[in-house]
Amino acid sequence: MKKFLWPLLIIFISFFSFNSLLRSGYIPMHDDMQPVRLLQLDKCLKDGQIPCRWVPDLGYGYGYPLFIFYSPLAYYVMEIIHLTGFSILTSIKIGFIFSFIFSGLTMFLFGKALWGKLGGLVSSAFYVYAPYRAADVYSRGAVGEFWALGFMPLILWAIQNFIKNSPSKKNGLLLSLSITGLLLTHNLTFIAFSPVIVVWTLLLLHFYKKWNYIPKLVISVIPAFCLSAFYTLPLVFEKQYVHIDTMTSGYFNYLAHFVSLSQLFFRGHWGFGSSELGPFDDLSFSIGVIHWLILFISIILLIFNRKKIKNKLSFLILSFFTGLFFGSIFLTHSKSTFIWQTLTFMKYFQFPWRFLILTILSTSVLAGFPIFLLKSNRKLSILYASLLIFSVIFFNARLFRPTRYIDINDQQKFSGQNWEYQITASIYDYLPIFAKAPPAKPAPQIPQILDGDSQIIQFQKGTDWQKGKIVTTTPTSTIQLPLFYYPGFKLWLNGQEIPFNYQNELGLITFQTPSGQNDFIVKMTKTPVRLTGDILSLLGLLLLFILYV
């Protein structure tokens, strides 16, 4: 029972971050596509499309390759919740609650390894109640980024266990799975966090003088990249087939979204609006008074207690996370424009304030340091830990609430104007390049007869396939399917694979039928890249079994 005490305490401390999600009703969020994404994944899995790549209803009903590009792991977990009997909307809320608790637990594990149990508890509380996390859930609805926050401390903890303790099977498995989790949860967070992983690893290898562990570390990381390859390979090698240019232009140009120092440190406004040009956004980017104060308290304590601290690793840890704090803050400010212009791939972050994920990570880790200094005086350390935890909850818990509640169920969410909004919103994000422009009206329910005399006798539509019977009474007839072309689609007519074209305004699959009754089926197949990714993922599972079971 004693081993469950700390996890239960973390859940109790975290309660005020998610208690607003326990009420009935759905919460509004900027990214109101979360319900339809989960619905599409649900349809994919029930249709046998595993892994889910092409979704049938988005793109105004013509479908598009959402999960080739959109990080899928959080949706698979929420789908498991949904399959237990919860509605789609409730499953999303439960998913957020789970992630609050998960990130609190992982930060506790990492903080405990650095500062002891009480210090880890303080770090956990600061991580859960960081203001940016409230914005992530109750304003933005950023599922992927929010879930990724749970994997960052887990990876750092896994690396520390591996290097400090031993490269055991348990530690190797933990490292592999934690990196896999981040890769599949939010690709942008993985990119932003990768330098942190590298520097943290080098720091520990240097301190513990275990450079001979490098080959073992590499062996532990290989399964992670293999396991995630079903997603990462198509993501990298098929991006040229969609209109991704719209994701970095106009509103999404990073130059419009730098934040000022006053927004980060002093502005007390809390809003639920969007990020706008200039320092008057209605979305808060505050680090939090308690969070930035604890950073400076930690630095001052270290300076005045440096002779008392025998563990030199504490100096390295404090220096590392202090540097991470200021480095991540710098990347959110316009003074870092030259870095963004030099590293052109950074334009895909869209919003420089995304780097606040590293800011809250660093301040939360450092929050446990004062308790570490007091470890010789248990009563005093308990007192100060309680004071810090109470303070961060008292000042920040009020931020963890939605602007309002919406009385709506799944049926209402996925019908009428709500449905039309969801299947057309962000339509350009993953629109195949073969479509010159997005469709202006919903996809027809059946194939269209462009010329000749034909009749659609039967038509069925799955998640990544369509099939039917067509009776043609003229020598030939041209049929157009309500389906965007994308590499991998193949068409069979009367059991024989036939060529088709998609040289039309919307890039729709179009083919000809001869006179008589014709059976057709079109289905998305695996391209060499997707097949390679799937095989590597299966090999990754096998490799995990060989290495760690």
Average pLDDT, consecutive stretches of 10 residues, N- to C-terminus, the chain (549 residues): 84 96 92 94 97 96 95 97 97 97 98 95 97 93 95 98 89 96 97 97 94 94 96 96 81 78 67 60 76 85 68 83 94 92 90 93 95 86 93 94 93 93 86 93 95 94 97 95 98 96 96 96 97 98 89
In this structure, is residue 435 part of a structural domain?
no
In this structure, is residue 543 part of a structural domain?
no
* pLDDT score, position 278: 59
Q: Do 372 and 473 belong together in one domain?
A: no
CATH of the domain at 507: 2.60.40
Q: Three-state SS string across 410-468, please?
A: HHHHCCHHHHHHHHHCCCCCCCECCCCCCCCCCCCCCCEEEECCEEEEEEEECCCEEEE
Q: Do 134 and 36 belong together in one domain?
A: yes
Q: Do 395 and 454 belong together in one domain?
A: no
In this structure, is residue 210 part of a structural domain?
yes
In this structure, is residue 415 part of a structural domain?
no
In this structure, is residue 544 part of a structural domain?
no
Q: Do 382 and 478 belong together in one domain?
A: no
* pLDDT score, position 220: 94
Q: Three-state SS string across 33-86, please?
A: CHHHHHHHHHHHHHCCCCCCCCECCCCCCCCECHHHHCCCHHHHHHHHHHHCCC
In this structure, is residue 483 part of a structural domain?
yes
* pLDDT score, position 261: 76
Q: Do 383 and 467 belong together in one domain?
A: no
* pLDDT score, position 311: 64
Q: What is residue 521's three-state secondary structure?
A: strand
Angstrom distance (rounded) from CA 180 to CA 220: 11
pTM: 0.93
Q: Do 293 and 369 belong together in one domain?
A: yes
Q: Do 386 and 487 belong together in one domain?
A: no
* pLDDT score, position 174: 95
In this structure, is residue 546 part of a structural domain?
no
In this structure, is residue 330 part of a structural domain?
yes
**Tokens coding 516:** 């008589």
Q: Do 394 and 461 belong together in one domain?
A: no
Q: Considering only CA atoms, which of 228, 144, 118, 128 is closest in space to residue 178?
A: 228
Q: Do 330 and 453 belong together in one domain?
A: no
Select from 384, 399, 414 the last residue of a domain: 399
Q: Do 475 and 354 belong together in one domain?
A: no
Q: Do 37 and 181 belong together in one domain?
A: yes
What range defines the domain where residue 468 resides?
Answer: 448-530
